[in-house]
Amino acid sequence: MRVSIGYSENPDTSTAGTQAALDALNHAGVQRRCDMVLLFTTSRHDAQLLHDAVASIVGHETPIVGGGSVGIITKDYLGYAGHQVGLAVFWFEGINCQIFAEPGLRQSEKATGERLGKRLAEIGTAPDSSVLLFYDSIDRTQGDPRLLMATPMLEGIEKGLGFLPKLVGAGMIGDYFFTPIKQWVGHGLGEHQAVALLFDGGLRIDSAIMHGCYPATGYYTVTKAEKQVILEINGQPALKFLKSILGSALKPEEYAFLIILGINEGEKWDDFHEDNYANRLVLSVDKERDGVVMFEPDMVEGTRFQIMHRSLNLDYIPPKIDELFASLQNRKLVFALYINCSGRAAGISGKDIEDGYVVQNSVRGRVPLLGIYSGVEIAPVKGRSRALDWTGIFCLFSVPE
């Protein structure tokens, strides 16, 4: 497999698509037509115009997959909340990739996932198959934005397929205002779809979880919940309980996008391991019911969690990336995909340095790099893929030597 990266932040959509595609092809030095394009853009670009511009360069027969991203990271560039466009061009060279796009997330994430799982089952997907999953995470058909959920979608995939492969992926958004943006689903555009890319031919996708959060408290238990709203914690109204823990320095209306609850999938009293934690970010508060609204609906009654502390030091990133590279020394590394929670961007999180810069420096040109800023991240935790918040997922694509 060969991969090349293109980038543009030209405000003219057609020019941006043309520049990004030519950038990738010129760096690749490959004369034959490419086999696939992963394409991501902020909401400032028109999806149809961008698709047409890229297709005019790579060929209209070439499948294009992707959608919204708050920003783009490559080995040389990093930007967000502007006119960023990033793409990865693939030449498979013995690798096979099948693309499955399943609409209907707005009606039911679980049913859509189940249909997708059945399609994956029909072509012989195995537990160790390499699957990349992207889905449209914003629904504004009723006016106010509604988040489409990864957790029930993954449950549906497991039901339809019979198991849940160790897939990685992202819930796509195009900006911080939840502006709707179309998806590219192979050939053409769509919305509210789940798109799975199934690779074979020996391609592997290995990943490392990097969220830089550490437990700040002991364990608490959800004692009542309704969908994505936690109503009670340790038998007390959830909002009042959190106020008693967090104190008066932080107002409840400030909890959104700031308070992180961590679910430890490892042993309760083992030493802390970042890879064992699935983080949940508070989306908003429900003052009428004294509840807290989470990004995903999986903090059900009985869920044990800790309040997490965000590290302001990004030194945890390079060792995780180096460790993943070292674990694959007997394989040929072809591509790195970094899926980064959009809230981790320094302009939003208040950090002094972009974690994307640390990733750039850690990769050091070892493989082509494309990074996107997502709404939700998906990766295996203790061997089981699940939705994550406030997380960077560093993925290495490799093939046999």
* Alpha carbon 50 to its chain's center: 22
Please tell me the least confidently modeled range out of 181-185, 298-302, 346-350.
346-350
Instruction: Give the tens place of pLDDT for each residue, 31-50.
Output: 899 999 999 999 999 999 99
Residue type, 99: I
Helix (H, G, I), strand (E, B) or coil at 376: strand
Cα–Cα distance measured from residue 355 to residue 127, given in angstroms and rounded to the nearest whole number: 32
Q: Parse the chain into domains and list their residue ranges.
A: 2-210+315-400, 213-310
pLDDT greater than 80 at residue 312: no
CATH class (in words) of the domain with range 213-310: mainly beta
H-type alpha helices, 63-128: 109-122
Q: State what percent of residues in the chain have pLDDT above 90.
A: 93
Instruction: Give the tens place of pLDDT for each residue, 130-171.
Output: 999 999 999 999 989 999 999 999 999 999 999 999 999 999
State the angle between helix axes of 109-122 and 150-161 in degrees (0 to 180), rounded to the nearest 10.
30
Return the H-helix or E-strand segment holding 166. none
Return the H-helix or E-strand segment holding 153. helix 150-161
Task: Summarize the confidence of residues 88-95 as an average pLDDT.
Answer: 96
Instruction: Give the tens place of pLDDT for each residue, 55-80.
Output: 999 999 999 999 999 999 999 999 99
pTM for the whole structure: 0.96
At 348 the pLDDT is 87
Count the Cβ atoms, other than its own, within 10 Å of residue 282. 21
At 350 the pLDDT is 79
Helix (H, G, I), strand (E, B) or coil at 308: strand
Please tell me the least confidently modeled range out of 80-84, 235-239, 256-260, 309-313.
309-313
Residue 237's Cβ-count burial label (10 Å; 0-12, 13-18, 19+) is middle
Count the Cβ atoms, other than its own, within 10 Å of residue 144. 7
Instruction: Give the tens place of pLDDT for each residue, 242-283.
Output: 999 999 889 999 999 999 999 999 999 889 999 999 999 999
**Among candidate residues 95, 97, 96, 89, the one with its CA nearest the CA of residue 29:** 89
Residue 121's Cβ-count burial label (10 Å; 0-12, 13-18, 19+) is middle
